[in-house]
C-alpha cells in the first residue's frame, strides 16, 4: 500500500517532515489521526525505522487500539511499537525498570474498584462512614491531593518503609488525612500503583536514574503525540525528557478542543511549543473532511463566541447535506420522544442504528432517553454507567487471575469466599489479625493455618490447593486457557449456572473472547502479568458492545470519534453549560466542549433543548450555545417561543453579571486593627482580613467570640 496515497498538501508535509520538532495545529476533522498513522507507516515503510523505536501517544486506549489496527494494515508489521496512552507507556517502562523504585515487576495497576476495596478496609479500621466522605469523593480528594496539594507524595511511597507510611496513617486525625495516608499505606502494601503513580514513578526514574533515562531516550527515536491540547504538566515533563536525545518530537492538537483544563490540562504547551522547542516547524491543517458545510458553519459560528482564542475557520471539503435541525421541547420526556421519532425516521430510510449517536453533557440525562427508547423498543447501548470491567463477575474472574499471579490481599478478599467456601466474616477477621501480627499476606495466613480448628469444616484447603496448582503452572500458558480452566476448577462458573445467571455467564464468555483477542493482537507481551496491568487501564469507551444499536455517551467520551448522525441533547442553561461553571474561562471550556460535540457529526446534526423545571423548581432556559448560533444556520422543527428566548437572554445576562461580580477581586475597605461600627452587631475590632474569602474577622464588643463578616456588610470606621 502506498503510504502517501490520498493525503492533502498539509498532511503530506506532516507525514514526510520526520526530523526535528514539528507542531501541527489542526481543526476538528481535518485528518490529524490519519496523518499520525500514515506518518508512522512512512517512518517504518519508507525510512526503515524499527516500530519498536517509535513512541506514539494517544489520548484513549480506544484510539491506541484503533491506531494499532491502522498501522498494522499500513505496515503489515505485527510489532507496532509503543502505541499507547501516557499511562500505558508508563506501564511498559515500569514493567522493565520498576526495580529502580524498589517495586517488583509484579506491581498491580489499580483501578477504581481496587481503590474502593482499599477505602473499605480503611473505613472499617478507622471507623469512618460514608457520611464522613463518600468513596467517590474520597477518590477525587486523593487525586486532587496527588496532583495539586501534595505532589511530592510519591517520594514517601518510594523512599519510606511500609512501617513508616503506616505510622503516618496511624497518626492521622482528620478523616481526609486518614483516608489519604491509609490509601498510600494500602497501595504500598500490595505494590499497587494508580494512574497518578504510574506517571510520577516513571518521571522519578527518568529524572533520578541517568542510565535508564538514556536507555529510553536512545530507544525512542521518534515521538509523536496526539491531542496535545489536553496535555498536563506531568505528561509534558515526561515527553520533554524522552525526546531529549534524538530531538524528534511531533505533536498534533486543536486549541479549540481543549476540554480537560479542570484536570490540569494546559493549552499553553501547544501554543508555546515553538518557543520551548526551537526551531519548530508549524503546519496548519484546516480542511475538514468529516462534516457537511451546514454542520461546520454551526461549529464555526459557535466557537467564534470564545474571546480567548486564536482565530481560525474550518473549511468544508464535503458537499452540502441537510440543515442542522433543532427542537425546543417542553420537557425532557418530550425531548427524548422527539429524538426517538427522528431516529425512527432515519432508520426507516435505511440508516443503521449504529451510525447514530446521542451525546449529552452529563450521565444523568440518560434516564428519560432510556425510558423512551425502551418503550419505543429502540436498541441502544450506553457508553457510560456500569462499565464492562466493573461488573461483578468480570472483577471476580480477573481477581482469580490476579490471585494466582500475585496472591495479593485485594484479590483474596474478593474471591476467597466466592463461591462459598465457608470463609465468612469471623474467619476473615482471624486471618486479618494473624496477617497483621505476622506481617504476611492474608493468603499466607490462610496457608499457615489450614490445620487450625477454625478452618476444619471449610473448603480452605481446596482453595489453597487451587491457587498453588495454578500459580505453579500458569507461566508459558496462554492467558485465555488459564482463565477458562480457572473459572471451571474454582467452581465459579458452576455457581453462576446454579444461580441461573445467564447474563453473567455471557459476560464471562465475552471476557474470554477479549483475552483471546488480546493474545492474538499483541505479540510478545501476552503473559498473564502483562495482561493484568493492561486490563486495569481500560475504561468505559474501550469496551462498549457491538451490534446495530444507537450509541449514547457523554461528550467527553465522544472526543476523537465521529458518527454519521449526531443528536446533541439537553442544550439548556444549567445542563450545558453546566451549572458548575463559575468563571469566564470555564464557560469558554464549556463552549469548546459543545464545539467538540458538534464537530463529531458527519452527515446531519440535531440539537435539542427541554424547557420546564429544574430539580429545585427554578425555570429551565434554552442554552446560550443554542441562542448564540445564527438562526439562519438552523432549521427549527420546534421553534423556541419568542418570550422564552427573551427570558433566556435576560437570565443569561444576569448570570454573566453575577459571575463577573463573584470573580472580581475583592477589595477590603478596612485593615487589621481598625475599629468599626456594625449597624446591628455594634462596635468591634477587625482581627484579620481574608481577601480570598472577601471577609473580615471581627471581635464585637458585645459578643464573646469573633465572627466572619463579609466585605459587603455595611461598616463604618470609628476612631
Ligand atoms: N486527505 C483526506 N482525504 C479524504 N478523507 C480524509 C482525508 N483526511 C482525513 N479524512 C477523513 O476525515 C475524517 C476525519 O479525520 P480524522 O479522524 O483523522 O480527524 P481528526 O483531525 O483526528 O479529528 P478530531 O480532532 O475532530 O477528532 C475521517 O473520516 C478521515 O478518514
In DSSP terms, 288 is beta-bridged to: 316
Ligand 1 atom closest to the Cα of residue 596 is 26
Question: Are the CB atoms for 339 and 326 separated by under 8 Å?
Answer: no
Run of H or E residues at 167: helix 162-171
Ligand 1 neighbourhood includes 30 CB (under 6 angstroms):
yes
pLDDT value at residue 615: 62
From 97, 111, 226, 674, the catalytic residue:
226
Same-domain status, 29 and 161: no
- Of 410-414, 545-549, 682-686, where does mean pLDDT reach its minimum? 545-549
The three-state secondary structure class of 665 is: coil
Ligand 1 atom closest to the Cα of residue 599 is 26
Ligand 1 neighbourhood includes 34 CB (under 6 angstroms):
yes
For the whole model, what pTM was predicted? Answer: 0.77
Is pLDDT larger for residue 68 or for residue 188? 188
Same-domain status, 648 and 559: yes
Question: Any alpha helices (H) in 172-329, and if so which ranges?
Answer: 175-189, 195-208, 210-219, 233-242, 268-271, 273-276, 293-303
Of 338-352, 523-537, 673-687, highest mean pLDDT: 338-352
Answer yes or no: 583 catalytic: no
Same-domain status, 419 and 532: yes
The answer as to whether 500 is a domain residue is yes
Mean of pLDDT over the chain: 89
- Please choose, from the candidates 220, 195, 223, 217, the residue with its C-alpha nearest in 3D space to the C-alpha of residue 205: 217
Run of H or E residues at 489: helix 479-489
Sorting pLDDT into bands at 50, 70 and 90, what band is 540? very low
Answer yes or no: 654 catalytic: no
From 80, 257, 258, 599, the catalytic residue:
257
pLDDT value at residue 477: 86
Ligand 1 neighbourhood includes 9 CB (under 6 angstroms):
no
**Distance of alpha carbon 216 from alpha carbon 157, whole angstroms:** 23
Sorting pLDDT into bands at 50, 70 and 90, what band is 138? very high
In DSSP terms, 686 is beta-bridged to: 698
Ligand 1 neighbourhood includes 290 CB (under 6 angstroms):
yes
Sorting pLDDT into bands at 50, 70 and 90, what band is 634? very high
Instruction: Name 105's Cβ contacts closer than 8 Å, sequence gap at least 6.
Output: 95, 98, 99, 529
Mutate which of 257, 289, 318, 541 for ligand 1 pocket (most atoms within 8 A of beta carbon): 289
- In residues, how long is the chain? 719
Q: Kindly report the number of other CB atoms within 10 A of residue 560's CB atom.
A: 20
The answer as to whether 596 is a domain residue is yes
The answer as to whether 33 is a domain residue is yes
Q: Is residue 543 scored above 70 in pLDDT? A: no
Q: Is residue 544 scored above 60 in pLDDT? A: no
Nearest CA to ligand 1 atom 9: 31
Is pLDDT larger for residue 394 or for residue 445? 445
Ligand 1 atom closest to the Cα of residue 7 is 1
Q: How many domains does the chain have?
A: 5
Same-domain status, 330 and 443: no
Q: Is residue 111 scored above 90 in pLDDT? A: no
Is pLDDT larger for residue 598 or for residue 191? 598
On whether 26 is known to bind a ligand per the annotation, the reply is yes
Q: How far is the CA of 3 from the centre of ligand 1 (A)?
A: 16
Specify the CATH number for the domain of residue 272.
Answer: 3.40.50.300
The answer as to whether 471 is a domain residue is yes
Q: Any idea what the Cα angle at residue 300 is, between residues 297 and 303, rounded to 5°?
A: 145
Q: How far is the CA of 71 from the centre of ligand 1 (A)?
A: 15
Answer yes or no: 661 catalytic: no
Q: What is the ipTM of this complex?
A: 0.95
Answer yes or no: 70 catalytic: no
**Distance of alpha carbon 304 from alpha carbon 628, whole angstroms:** 10
pLDDT value at residue 522: 67
Q: How far is the CA of 634 from the centre of ligand 1 (A)?
A: 25
pLDDT value at residue 385: 47
Same-domain status, 275 and 342: no
The answer as to whether 415 is a domain residue is yes
State which residues form the domain around 225: 9-93+202-287
Q: Is residue 25 scored above 60 in pLDDT? A: yes
Nearest CA to ligand 1 atom 3: 6
From 221, 227, 529, 589, the catalytic residue:
227
Q: How far is the CA of 17 from the centre of ligand 1 (A)?
A: 19
Q: Is residue 468 scored above 90 in pLDDT? A: yes
Give per-residue burial for 425-444: e unless 16+ CB within 10 Å, then b: eebbebbbebbeeeeebbbb
On whether 384 is known to bind a ligand per the annotation, the reply is no
The answer as to whether 557 is a domain residue is yes
Question: Are the CB atoms for 178 and 204 separated by under 8 Å?
Answer: no
Domain end, chosen from 146, 161, 190, is at 190
Sorting pLDDT into bands at 50, 70 and 90, what band is 261? confident
Q: What's the grid cell of residue 376?
A: 419505543
Domain end, chosen from 168, 190, 212, is at 190
Same-domain status, 83 and 114: no
pLDDT value at residue 320: 94
Same-domain status, 653 and 678: no
Q: How many CA atoms lie within 13 A of 295 on its CB side?
A: 35
Could you read off the pLDDT of 323-373 as tens digits, one per residue?
Answer: 999 999 988 889 999 999 999 999 999 999 999 999 999 877 887 898 899
Name the percent of the chain lying above pLDDT 90.
Answer: 59
Domain end, chosen from 483, 514, 539, is at 539
Same-domain status, 486 and 565: no
Specify the CATH number for the domain of residue 446.
Answer: 1.10.486.10
Run of H or E residues at 563: strand 563-568
The answer as to whether 669 is a domain residue is no
Instruction: Name 34's Cβ contacts closer than 8 Å, sequence gap at least 6.
Output: 7, 11
Same-domain status, 400 and 532: yes
Q: What's the grid cell of residue 212?
A: 535508564
The answer as to whether 580 is a domain residue is yes
pLDDT value at residue 345: 97
Could you read off the pLDDT of 482-529 as tens digits, one per residue?
Answer: 999 999 999 999 998 887 777 788 778 878 877 877 777 666 567 888
Give the mean pLDDT of 158-173.
93
Same-domain status, 363 and 412: no
Same-domain status, 185 and 224: no
Same-domain status, 639 and 584: yes
Amino acid at each position: 500500500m502506498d503510504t502517501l496515497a490520498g493525503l492533502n498538501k498539509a498532511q503530506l508535509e506532516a507525514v514526510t517532515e520526520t526530523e526535528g520538532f514539528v507542531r501541527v495545529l489542526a481543526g476538528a476533522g481535518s485528518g490529524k489521526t490519519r496523518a499520525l498513522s500514515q506518518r508512522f507507516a512512512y517512518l517504518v515503510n519508507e525510512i526503515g525505522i524499527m516500530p519498536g523505536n517509535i513512541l506514539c501517544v494517544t489520548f484513549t486506549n480506544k484510539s491506541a487500539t484503533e491506531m494499532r489496527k491502522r498501522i498494522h494494515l499500513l505496515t503489515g508489521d505485527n510489532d507496532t511499537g509503543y502505541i499507547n496512552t501516557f499511562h500505558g507507556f508508563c506501564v511498559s517502562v515500569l514493567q522493565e525498570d520498576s526495580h529502580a523504585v524498589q517495586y517488583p515487576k509484579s506491581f498491580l495497576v489499580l483501578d477504581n474498584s481496587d481503590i474502593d476495596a482499599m477505602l473499605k478496609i480503611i473505613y472499617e479500621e478507622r471507623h469512618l462512614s460514608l457520611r464522613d466522605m463518600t468513596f467517590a469523593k474520597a477518590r477525587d480528594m486523593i487525586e486532587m491531593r496527588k496532583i495539586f496539594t501534595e505532589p511530592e507524595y510519591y517520594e514517601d511511597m518510594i523512599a519510606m518503609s511500609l512501617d513508616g507510611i503506616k505510622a503516618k496513617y496511624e497518626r492521622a486525625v482528620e478523616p481526609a488525612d486518614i483516608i489519604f495516608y491509609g490509601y498510600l499505606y494500602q497501595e504500598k502494601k500490595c505494590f499497587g500503583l494508580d494512574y497518578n503513580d504510574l506517571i510520577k514513578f516513571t518521571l522519578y526514574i527518568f529524572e533520578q536514574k541517568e542510565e535508564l533515562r538514556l536507555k529510553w531516550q536512545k530507544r525512542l527515536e521518534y515521538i509523536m503525540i496526539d491531542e496535545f491540547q489536553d496535555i498536563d504538566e506531568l505528561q509534558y515533563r515526561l515527553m520533554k525528557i524522552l525526546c531529549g536525545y534524538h530531538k524528534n518530537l511531533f505533536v498534533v492538537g486543536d486549541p479549540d478542543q481543549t476540554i480537560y483544563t479542570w484536570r490540569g490540562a494546559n493549552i499553553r504547551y501547544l501554543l508555546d511549543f515553538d518557543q520551548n522547542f526551537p526551531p519548530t516547524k508549524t503546519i496548519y491543517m484546516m480542511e475538514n473532511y468529516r462534516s457537511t458545510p451546514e454542520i461546520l458553519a454551526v461549529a464555526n459560528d459557535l466557537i467564534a463566541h470564545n474571546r480567548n482564542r486564536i482565530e481560525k475557520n474550518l473549511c468544508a471539503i464535503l458537499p452540502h447535506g441537510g440543515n442542522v435541525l433543532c427542537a425546543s421541547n417542553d420537557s425532557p420526556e418530550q425531548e427524548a420522544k422527539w429524538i426517538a421519532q427522528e431516529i425512527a425516521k432515519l432508520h426507516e430510510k435505511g440508516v443503521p442504528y449504529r451510525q447514530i449517536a446521542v451525546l449529552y453533557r452529563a450521565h444523568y440525562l440518560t434516564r428519560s432517553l432510556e425510558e423512551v427508547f425502551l418503550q419505543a423498543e429502540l436498541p441502544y447501548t450506553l457508553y457510560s454507567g456500569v462499565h464492562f470491567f466493573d461488573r461483578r463477575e468480570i472483577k471476580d474472574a480477573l481477581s482469580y487471575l490476579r490471585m494466582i499471579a500475585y496472591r495479593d490481599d485485594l484479590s483474596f478478599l474478593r474471591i476467597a469466599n466466592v463461591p462459598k467456601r465457608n470463609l465468612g466474616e469471623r474467619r476473615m477477621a482471624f486471618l486479618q489479625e494473624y496477617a497483621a501480627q505476622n506481617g504476611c499476606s492474608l493468603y499466607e495466613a490462610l496457608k499457615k493455618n489450614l490445620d487450625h480448628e477454625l478452618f476444619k469444616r471449610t473448603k480452605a484447603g481446596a482453595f489453597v490447593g487451587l491457587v498453588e496448582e495454578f500459580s505453579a503452572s500458569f507461566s508459558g500458558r496462554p492467558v485465555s486457557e488459564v482463565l477458562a480452566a480457572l473459572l471451571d476448577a474454582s467452581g465459579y462458573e458452576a455457581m453462576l449456572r446454579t444461580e441461573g445467571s445467564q447474563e453473567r455467564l455471557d459476560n464471562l464468555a465475552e471476557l474470554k473472547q477479549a483475552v483471546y483477542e488480546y493474545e492474538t493482537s499483541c505479540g510478545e507481551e501476552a503473559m498473564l502479568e502483562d495482561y493484568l496491568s493492561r486490563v486495569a487501564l481500560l475504561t468505559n469507551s474501550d469496551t462498549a458492545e457491538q451490534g446495530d444499536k444507537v450509541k449514547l455517551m457523554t461528550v467527553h467520551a465522544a472526543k476523537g470519534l465521529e458518527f454519521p448522525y449526531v443528536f446533541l441533547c439537553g442544550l439548556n442553561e444549567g445542563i450545558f453549560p453546566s451549572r458548575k461553571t463559575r468563571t469566564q474561562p470555564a464557560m469558554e471550556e464549556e463552549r469548546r466542549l459543545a464545539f467538540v460535540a458538534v464537530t463529531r457529526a458527519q452527515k446531519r446534526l440535531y440539537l435539542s433543548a427541554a424547557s420546564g423545571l429544574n430539580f429545585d423548581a427554578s425555570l429551565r432556559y434554552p442554552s446560550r450555545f443554542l441562542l448564540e448560533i445564527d438562526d439562519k444556520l438552523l432549521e427549527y422543527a420546534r421553534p423556541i417561543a419568542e418570550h422564552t428566548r427573551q427570558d433566556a437572554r435576560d437570565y443569561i445576562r444576569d448570570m454573566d453579571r453575577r459571575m463577573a461580580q463573584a470573580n472580581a477581586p475583592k477589595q477590603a475597605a478596612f485593615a487589621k486593627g481598625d475599629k468599626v461600627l456594625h449597624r446591628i452587631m455594634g462596635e468591634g475590632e477587625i482581627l484579620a482580613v481574608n481577601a480570598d474569602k472577601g471577609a473580615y474577622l471581627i471581635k464585637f464588643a458585645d459578643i464573646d467570640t469573633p465572627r466572619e463578616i463579609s466585605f459587603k456588610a455595611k461598616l463604618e470606621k470609628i476612631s
